[in-house]
Amino acid sequence: MNEKAIWDFLMEKTNNPYGTAAIMGNLMAESSLNPLNATGTKNPSYTQDVDNGIIDFVGDNVAYGIAQWRYWSRKEKLLELSKKKRKSVGDLSLQLEFLWSELQSHKTALNAVLTATDIRTPSDIFMLKYEKPGNTGEKARQKRATYAHQYFNSFAKNPDTKPGYHQVTATANVNIRLGNDTSYDKAGVLRAGYSAQWVATSENNWYAIKYEDKVCWVSGEFAKLTQ
């Protein structure tokens, strides 16, 4: 149940099955995708006690949730969001929302999952730049990537999964840039009516495309997704 809910949420955000699978592989290694996972306590009612304000969630050094948040400032923000939304701190949808909001300030990890064209690359980057576990050795990286491949195989080809787009077609001549806004250098031009392979879509309505064997970007103001 959690697997499909997490996949759907992340696909809605990233529009990229490789990046989505990479995140899920990491979360599986961290928490087995269990939003109630609490590492560092044997309290069976930990989540309930947090919701009731009985224990010090912020300062107890317990790793919690799907991403195993441990650092006090991150847990403080998660707790604040739970109170704002009037949801349990262990609510899966709340934790997914929090994870995605955190990713906005982890630009390297975010860009890796948005522009992914394979699984291992974003899996490693998400591990090193967002999760930052104690063990970052090759075996640990392989484990996370293996989980990611399993989710990709389970959901990316599933007919119930929202179908992806395959091309970006220019509606007018549009500059191809090295990043997803006009501050990035120009790499070329996609002429009106011409198409390029779609890779991902960013929140500011820019499309990542394959261009000369690398990932570049075009503005959604002058292009559209086509199947």
Provide the domain count of the chain.
Answer: 2
**Of 98, 131, 156, the domain-final residue:** 156
Q: Are residues 128 and 202 in the same domain?
A: no
Return mean pLDDT, the chain.
90
pLDDT at 4 over 80: yes
Once rounded to an integer, what is the mean pLDDT over residues 221-227? Answer: 88
The answer to whether position 161 is within a domain reads: no
Q: Are residues 18 and 74 in the same domain?
A: yes
**What is the rounded distance in angstroms from the CA atom of residue 85 to the CA atom of residue 78?**
11
**What is the rounded distance in angstroms from the CA atom of residue 141 to the CA atom of residue 144?**
5
Residue 126 belongs to domain with CATH number? 1.10.530.10
pLDDT-based confidence at residue 163 (cuts at 50, 70, 90): very low
Q: Are residues 32 and 97 in the same domain?
A: yes
pLDDT-based confidence at residue 1 (cuts at 50, 70, 90): low
pLDDT at 183 over 60: yes
Q: Tell me which of 178 and 123 has the higher pLDDT.
A: 123
For residues 4-23, one letter each, b for 16 or more C-beta atoms within 10 angstroms of the residue's C-beta and e for the rest, the string is eebbbbbbebbbbbbbbbbb
pLDDT at 212 over 50: yes
**What is the rounded distance in angstroms from the CA atom of residue 224 to the CA atom of residue 109?**
25
Would you put residue 40 in left (φ > 0), alpha (ψ -120 to 50) or beta?
Answer: left
Show Cβ contacts of residue 32 under 8 Å, excluding neighbours closer than 6 positions.
none
Q: Are residues 179 and 148 in the same domain?
A: no
The reported pLDDT for the residue numbered 197 is: 85
Once rounded to an integer, what is the mean pLDDT over residues 107-124? Answer: 93
Q: Are residues 115 and 212 in the same domain?
A: no
Q: Are residues 109 and 20 in the same domain?
A: yes
Q: Are residues 39 and 76 in the same domain?
A: yes
pLDDT-based confidence at residue 87 (cuts at 50, 70, 90): very high
Q: Are residues 146 and 189 in the same domain?
A: no
The answer to whether position 182 is within a domain reads: yes
**Of 97, 128, 156, the domain-final residue:** 156
Q: Are residues 67 and 144 in the same domain?
A: yes
The reported pLDDT for the residue numbered 70 is: 96
**Of 102, 127, 156, the domain-final residue:** 156
pLDDT tens profile 19-76? 999 999 999 999 999 999 999 999 999 999 999 999 999 999 999 999 999 999 999 9
**Helix 92-103 to helix 2-14 angle, to the nearest 10 degrees?**
30
Q: Are residues 187 and 98 in the same domain?
A: no
Residue 212 belongs to domain with CATH number? 2.30.30.40
Q: Are residues 135 and 180 in the same domain?
A: no
Once rounded to an integer, what is the mean pLDDT over residues 70-93? Answer: 97
21 φ/ψ angles, rounded to the nearest 5 degrees: -60, -40
The answer to whether position 113 is within a domain reads: yes
The answer to whether position 180 is within a domain reads: yes
Match 């309290």 to its residue by tokens: 43
pLDDT-based confidence at residue 96 (cuts at 50, 70, 90): very high
179 lies in which domain range? 167-226
